[in-house]
Amino acid sequence: MCLIVFAYNTHPHYRLILISNRDEFYQRPTEPLHIWQDKKIVAGRDLQSMGTWLGINSNRYVAALTNFRDPKSLKPNTPSRGELVCSWLMAQNTNTWMNELPKQSSHYNGFNLLFCDLTHCYYFSNQTNFIQCLNPGIYGLSNHLLDTPWPKLKKAKASFTQFLDSNPSLDIEHLFTLLLNTDTAKECDLPDTGVGIEWERILSSMFIISNIYGTRSSSIVLIPHQGNIQFIERTYYIEQKQIVAKQTVHIAI
């Protein structure tokens, strides 16, 4: 996943409102959102490494992952970062899990992890190795640290904040439309993460399109103070450089 924007305890009806885009190579095999019978998790699934980028469980816990973009620091033969989401959602003792996370984090390539239980939301990156308990607010996460002001993240947070201020009833289709923005940043505003100027430009849009890599799906997670969690995933394919919605899956828990 490469773009997450979320509101934590800022809405009168929802504890968490999270929207996200998952970016991946088009050829990487993936299962859409479903209930995993083997692990009691609700998530899409990366069929190459069998992990996930965003999931929830029956206890109303949620976790979401982005990679930290730093190609010069990539290590071969590391565990899949998608395991981290699964391990939080399957943890028998969350205090033990949180104590172990900083100790194990160096085994993985760079990542950011958002994870929430019934009362708190936390952010962790193995670039800082510190678990941060989040205060109520609106946050954004891409492929650097939490709220790093990359152009795509600033744009996403501004659009999301404006939407929440003017749409108390949460129009789902409007949220999906917000995530479809393909505008790229000006060259002078691009970060330098070591992938070259052309890829920096391609990766600077909220919804990414290229010949081999791009946004595969968008997701919305709504966790109310009372009532069912709503998890909606919309998958896409690109046809003649146009975005085509392939499938929408809506699961209530």
| CATH label of the domain that carries residue 145 | 3.60.60.10
Range of the domain at 240: 3-252
Structural domain total, the chain? 1
In this structure, is the dihedral angle defined by the CA atoms of residues 110, 128, 219 and 61, taken in order, positive or negative? positive
50 phi-psi bin (left φ>0, alpha ψ -120 to 50, beta other): left
* Whole-model pTM over 0.85: yes
Look up residue 220 and give its amino acid. Answer: I
Query: Would you write out the chain's pLDDT as a tens digit for each of its 253 residues?
Result: 799 999 999 999 999 999 999 999 999 999 999 999 877 899 999 999 999 999 999 999 999 999 999 999 999 999 999 999 999 999 999 999 999 999 999 999 999 999 999 999 999 999 999 999 999 999 999 999 999 999 999 999 999 999 999 988 899 999 999 999 999 999 999 999 999 999 999 999 999 999 999 999 999 999 999 999 999 999 999 998 899 999 999 999 8
153: CB partners within 8 A, 6+ apart: 3, 5, 140, 141, 142, 147
